[in-house]
Structures are given as C-alpha cells and as structure tokens.
C-alpha cells in the first residue's frame, strides 16, 4: 500500500544509519592511509645529512684520529686523511646508510680482483662485507665505514697503477698502445708507485658520485670479453656456494648406451655446469634451465652423451661423448678453483690495450688457435703449433710489418747446441741432407766446410759456429715467415711438418708459432699492397729467392695465454695450464682429494 506521508515526515532512523556508515567509511580510509604512511616511513632508509657526515668525518680524521686507527685496520691512514681534507670531508662511497653507486662499483672491483687469492690483497673485503650487512644507523659507524672504503680504494689504486695486477709480464706494444693499467688522468703508472699524492689528486678532482664511477670504470678493462668473464665469475661464485656440487669418485669408462650408478651424478654435475641439456643460448643463463628427469637415471642416453661432448668441447678435450679419465678430471675441478682461474684470466685483459686495433692477429696459445680480426669480425682463422712446455712460446704484443718469402732459417743457439749438434755428431750427413750450412759466427757469416769440423770432439762448450738452413722444401720455416720484432727470436711461420696439425694437443715447437694456413695469412696481409696479387706471390715463391716484403700497414699481433674465456656465443671455455703460468693456490685440490677418498 502506498504511503500518504510526505517525504520530509519520513521516520528518522534510516538517516542516522546513513550518517553512521559514512563515519565508519571515513574512519577506515583514514586508518588505511595512516597505515600506508607508517609502512612507507618504516621502509625508508634513515637519512644521514651531509653536514652531520662532514662533522663526523672531520672528527674521525682530526681529534679522534687515534681512536680511528685503533678501531679500523687502515693501511694508508695518512693518505686517507689527506683525501678527505682535500674533498671537504664528503662521503665518497656511502649514501645515507647504504652503498652509493660508486661504492657498489668499488666493492665489485675489489671482489673480482681478489677472487683469484693469488696475492694478499689489502682490501678489507670480508670485514667490510660484514660491516655493510650489520651497519647500524649511526653517523659515527657510517663515516668510519666510508673511511675504510677509501683506504681499500687506495690499496686497489696502488695495485692497478703499479701494474701489480698483471698476470703475465708483457710489455706494451712498441707502437705506443698502452695497457689498461694506465691511469685515468694521464699520470704514468710509475708515478703511483712512489707517490700517493697522485691518488689524492685523483679523488680530489673526481669526488662527485658520477666522476668516481667514471674513475673506477677507467681502472678496469672495458673489452666485451672482460665483461663476459665478469658474468662467468658470478656464475661460478654462485655455483661454488651451491651445496649440490660433489666430485665423481673413481669409476669405469662409460659410453652411450651403458648403465651405471654414477650416471645419475654425472647428469647432476653436467646440469650444474650448464651442459645438460645442451644449451641453446648461453651458459650464463643456467639458473633458468630446469631439465626434466630422464626415464632411466642410470642410463647414459643420447642427450647425456651430447652434453658430454659439449662439456668436452669447452674444456679443449677430445669430443668423444664418453666419460673417460680426462673428462672425469675436468668434471672434478671444483667451482671454487674455477672462480680463481676466471679471476686470474680477467687480469690478463689488463695487459692489453683498450683499443686492440681495427685489424690485428690474435693467437690463443692454450687453444692452439689464430684469428685475423678485421673490424671485430673474424677474417681468417687456423690451427697453430706452439712451444713445448720446456721451450715455451712467451705471451707477446708486437707490431708485425714484414713477411719473408722463401726464408732461410738462422738456427737459434739453443737449438743448435742441444738439438742439432748431437745428431750431427752421430751422422756426418745430417746437416748436408737438410741443407744446413755451418757459418763462422753471427758477426761473420762465412761458410765453413762441414768436413773441416772436428765433430767427434764438438760439444756445446766449444762449438763457436752458427747454423743456417737454406730456403726450400727442407726448410723448417716452410715458404713464409712473419717477422715479429722481439728479442726472443719468436715469429710466425710455415712448417715442413703439416701432419702435426692433426694432433689435438699442439705444444710441439721450439718456441715459434707454426701456422696451418700460412699462405692464406700472407695473401690476406698483402691484399691491399699494390702489385702484390696472389699470382705475384706464387711467382715469387716459385723463383726460390728469399724476399722481404713490407706489409701495407702494420698489424698488431697478440700472442696471448688464456686458460679461461667466454666465447662470442656466451659459452665458458677452459683450457689446461700447459705452461703452469696461472699459479693458482691449490687448496681446492686437497679438498677434492678428501671428497673423493
């Protein structure tokens, strides 16, 4: 029934209900807003005002300097005090109570530099990491930590600018290209060895966060290969902290189709390393890869054999797909050892120029491989043979500007005395058959008739002559030699023993680099030289006369020693340390033995 009452005379209860509901809604909204404001405030990093930081830094480094030295393990207290005095007592590495971008980058540099554990790095790294993790919101503690970070920077700068971080003793290129260890502001490296004032000046001129970041970037290599190694270092650091890693115990040789209880652990290891299943992209992305469990965990199936081949390829082993003794050895190298190996190889990039050149020759001695790089692309590549372990090919950086067609071989003194002389004493025809002539001396190249020499009594102590092999088919250098100006008699050349390139391990020479495709390299280097067509090169070779040919442009040549790198596909590569140049601390080996036994 329709009500006859006027709306204004309706009962009042509904109106009071609406007011109550409105008040409740407002209360809920206000309390919600208060809650979110409260939460935001509690999540905010406490602020350390610049003036308060300045006062505490000044107090530490002036009136409380004695307390600071007793509290913090500073290596360079006087230098650090000068730095803060010259920078106006500003925080350099912390922002409020957290690492600024410059501080994060500094910690990264310190971590990757000291990861090889090769030296006693004076970086306070473990201590600073603990302090950062437990840093209270107190200005006095924060400023003390900033001072400690500056002290670590001084130690790091000392190491960088004194070239202490060079893994191998390689001089810079003769044409003036400087290695990465040069200082950011034009100071020569030796200046930093004797005078910390240059480090003080460096920080005074670059005290802003952005400039500090630039300084640090200038103190490490920026090659793409170095940055890829940095990723690989993180990869193996995380793997070394993974409690799943266990070495394989001794066991039988296993191939595809066989079953064995160790196969399950083999699959786990290859999965941890990123080889199982065979990656389609990069090993760096291994955390995102979750292989499905196989139907038969103890069967070495086709997928596992393919993963073994992938693992063998990136360790420089024969690719058999079989779990053999050599593969077990590589599988059982601990991730912590790989961390040290990668960190050490990162240092080798410090010895190279920032700009390798537009066109250059790159030889990786431990991979037995040469590449001719042109504008970042591989123009030519080939196998090489390098020096034996007791006649090592040294890492070199030289500027190649000459090649020799139909070269003669001036036999190095050591090879003359210890390789050829014993054979010549046993067989009088040895030298004649190989067209090797005896010359009076290096200063006087007059031929001495072989029959006039008293071979029976010739010894390394009384043999004054030098030997020279004439050009031709018998010549040890083959048809072409590529000259590298150095005092070690090291060069690249053809060989009279091409069958040696079929060997997997090729540390077989007396020090020089033997090339699989020497004429391809000669044609590539002479292709822009007027009048030197491929036909002209063949004609010169056919004449048999020794001919020195200047290259149209100097070609930087790098003989490098890499036992770890990341290739263009993002695959982490390892090679055996044939020359024992890594000198990595071996405590990982003893740990490995304990785990296996």
What gap in Å lies between CA 353 and CA 84, rounded to an integer?
33
SS3 254: strand
396 phi and psi, to 5 degrees? -140, 155
What gap in Å lies between CA 414 and CA 498, rounded to an integer?
24
Give which of 106, 90, 21 is closest to 58, Cα–Cα.
Answer: 90
- Is 130 a residue of the active site? no
What gap in Å lies between CA 153 and CA 199, rounded to an integer?
9
Task: Evaluate whether 120 touches 113 at the Cβ level (below 8 Å).
Answer: no
SS3 555: strand
- Is 29 a residue of the active site? no
The one catalytic residue among 130, 196, 493, 583: 493
Pairing of strands 359-364, 547-560: parallel
- Helix 518-526 and helix 534-543: axis angle, to 10°? 120
The one catalytic residue among 76, 124, 315, 512: 512
CB count, 10 Å around CB of 490? 17
Token digits of residue 514:
């033997």
What gap in Å lies between CA 496 and CA 387, rounded to an integer?
16
Pairing of strands 377-387, 396-405: unpaired
Dihedral angle sign, alpha carbons of residues 78, 179, 513, 436: negative
30 burial (CB, 10 Å; 0-12 / 13-18 / 19+) is exposed
Task: Kindly state the helix (H) or strand (E) to which residue 519 belongs, with its residue range.
Answer: helix 518-526
SS3 363: strand
Give which of 576, 366, 407 is closest to 491, Cα–Cα.
Answer: 407
DSSP 595: H
Query: What residues form DSSP beta bridges with 382?
Result: 370
Cis peptide before 246 (omega within 30 of 0): no
Pairing of strands 447-448, 94-95: unpaired
What gap in Å lies between CA 166 and CA 345, rounded to an integer?
10
Strands (E) in 354-511, as ranges, are 359-364, 369-374, 377-387, 396-405, 409-410, 436-439, 447-448, 466-469, 480-483, 492-493, 507-509
Task: Evaluate whether 567 touches 573 at the Cβ level (below 8 Å).
Answer: yes
Catalytic residue IDs = 493, 512
């Amino acid at each position: 029934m329709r009500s006859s009452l006027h709306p204004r005379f309706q009962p009042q209860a509904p109106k009071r209900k609406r007011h109550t509901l409105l008040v409740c809604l407002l209360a809920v909204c206000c309390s919600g807003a208060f809650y979110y404001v409260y939460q935001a405030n509690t999540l905010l990093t406490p602020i350390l005002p610049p003036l308060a930081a300045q006062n505490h830094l000044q107090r530490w480094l002036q009136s409380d300097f004695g307390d600071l030295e007793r509290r913090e393990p500073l290596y360079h207290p006087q230098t650090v005090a000068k730095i803060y005095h010259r920078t106006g007592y500003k925080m350099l590495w912390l922002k409020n109570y957290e690492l600024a971008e410059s501080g994060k980058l500094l910690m990264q540099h310190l971590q990757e530099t000291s990861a090889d554990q090769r030296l006693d790095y004076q970086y306070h790294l473990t201590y600073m990491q603990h302090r950062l993790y437990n840093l209270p919101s107190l200005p006095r503690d924060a400023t003390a930590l900033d001072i400690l970070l500056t002290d670590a920077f001084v130690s790091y700068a000392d190491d960088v600018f004194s070239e202490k971080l060079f893994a191998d003793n390689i001089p810079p290129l003769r044409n003036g290209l400087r290695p990465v260890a040069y200082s950011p502001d034009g100071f020569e490296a030796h200046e930093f060895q004797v005078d910390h004032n240059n480090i003080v000046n460096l920080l005074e001129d670059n005290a802003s966060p952005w400039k500090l970041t630039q300084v640090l970037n200038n103190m490490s290599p920026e090659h793409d290969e170095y940055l890829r190694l940095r990723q690989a270092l993180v990869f193996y650091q995380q793997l070394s902290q993974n409690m799943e890693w266990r070495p394989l115990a001794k066991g039988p040789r296993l191939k595809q189709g066989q079953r064995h209880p160790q196969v399950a652990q083999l699959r786990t290891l290859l999965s941890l390393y990123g080889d199982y299943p065979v990656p389609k992209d990069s090993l760096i992305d291994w955390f995102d890869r979750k292989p499905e469990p196989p139907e038969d965990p103890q069967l070495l199936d086709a997928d596992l054999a393919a993963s073994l081949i992938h693992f063998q390829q990136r360790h420089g082993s024969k690719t058999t797909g079989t779990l053999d003794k050599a593969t077990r050895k590589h599988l059982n190298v601990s991730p912590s050892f790989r961390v040290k190996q990668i960190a050490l190889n990162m240092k080798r990039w410090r010895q190279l120029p920032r700009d390798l050149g537009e066109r250059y020759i790159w030889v990786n001695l431990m991979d037995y491989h040469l590449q001719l790089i042109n504008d970042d692309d591989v123009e030519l590549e080939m196998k090489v043979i390098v020096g034996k372990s007791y006649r090592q090919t040294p890492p070199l950086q030289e500027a190649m500007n000459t090649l020799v067609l139909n070269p003669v071989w001036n036999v190095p003194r050591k090879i003359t005395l210890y390789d050829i002389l014993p054979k010549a004493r046993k067989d009088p025809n040895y030298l004649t058959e190989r067209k090797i002539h005896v010359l009076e001396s290096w200063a006087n190249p007059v031929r001495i008739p072989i029959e006039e020499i008293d071979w029976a009594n010739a010894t390394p102590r009384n043999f004054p002559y030098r030997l020279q092999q004439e050009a031709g088919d018998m010549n040890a250098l083959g048809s072409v030699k590529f000259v590298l100006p150095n005092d070690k008699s090291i060069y690249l050349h053809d060989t009279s023993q091409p069958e040696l390139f079929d060997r997997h391990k090729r540390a077989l020479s007396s020090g020089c680099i033997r090339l699989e495709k020497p004429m391809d390299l000669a044609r590539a280097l002479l292709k822009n030289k007027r009048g030197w067509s491929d036909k002209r090169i063949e004609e010169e070779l056919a004449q048999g006369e020794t001919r020195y040919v200047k290259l149209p442009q100097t070609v930087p040549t790098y003989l490098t020693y890499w036992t770890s790198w990341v290739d263009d596909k993002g695959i982490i590569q390892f090679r055996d340390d044939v020359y024992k140049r890594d000198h990595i601390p071996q405590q990982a080996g003893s740990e490995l033995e304990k785990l296996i036994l």
